[in-house]
Amino acid sequence: MSEIPRRIERIAFVASQTREAEAARARLIQRYGAVDEDAADVIVALGGDGLMLQTLHRFRDQGVPIYGMHRGSVGFLMNTFREDDLRERIAAASHVVIHPLMMEAVDAHGERFSAPAINEVSLLRQTYQAAKLRISIDGKVRLEELICDGMLVATPAGSTAYNLSAHGPIMPLGTALLALTPISPFRPRRWRGALIPDRATIHVTVLEADKRPVSAVADHQEVRDIVEVSARLDNTSSIDMLFDPDHGLDERILREQFIY
């Protein structure tokens, strides 16, 4: 994180489709004015983490920073909502650059799909049958067969989301690692996941795919009936996020590790 000078005259506002978020957007536009998103110096997102993820995907690689304020359910990625001094808060905010994972999936018909993920790439069983997965890292098989409900490949930014709920490790920002976390593993019973260098490519083959169908999800983009999927960090792509200095993402991730 670092503070950078920025122009904050031209603000665009996006909001989730809730009464609270839409009302906040209307009040802020009346107070600060607004421009179209393609002319903005900064995007202010009003909602919860779901809205923030959608906004980050939408403006990925466009060079415009995103400043979120919490007007939704979960607000881990959001700053505290306050209507006063918005331009001053944005000008003083700390800057975080996030690189997404790139998911490449192949379905049972041989069709290929690509999608970026800011939080995680997840593989999930589609029926009552447990999934059977083979895991390779950089072309070498590391786990011949994992029987489970699914598994995750999580970034440090996403390590406190689904990954944490699945008992995966929390990783501070800047950690050059990805978390490989099983969801309800049955065999090997003692395997609880791994930390992988973020330069590695994780490849997963679905075993018995006809009998045990599996879907792959990059944040909120899902592909059904996959037979294989790979995930790697895409350092050529980036998203800029802004956080109030006293409540930055580093601080939130650190604080989350001391909640019990």
Active site residues: 49
Whole-angstrom Cα distance, residue 151 to residue 107? 17
Cβ neighbours of 73 (radius 10 Å): 12
Whole-angstrom Cα distance, residue 170 to residue 224? 28
Whole-angstrom Cα distance, residue 198 to residue 152? 14
Structure tokens at 140: 């070498």
Residue with tokens 């994180």: 1
Q: How many residues does the chain have?
A: 260
Per the CB < 8 A criterion, the answer to whether 148 and 182 are in contact is: yes
CA distances for 73 relative to 36, 99, 156, angstroms? 26, 25, 22
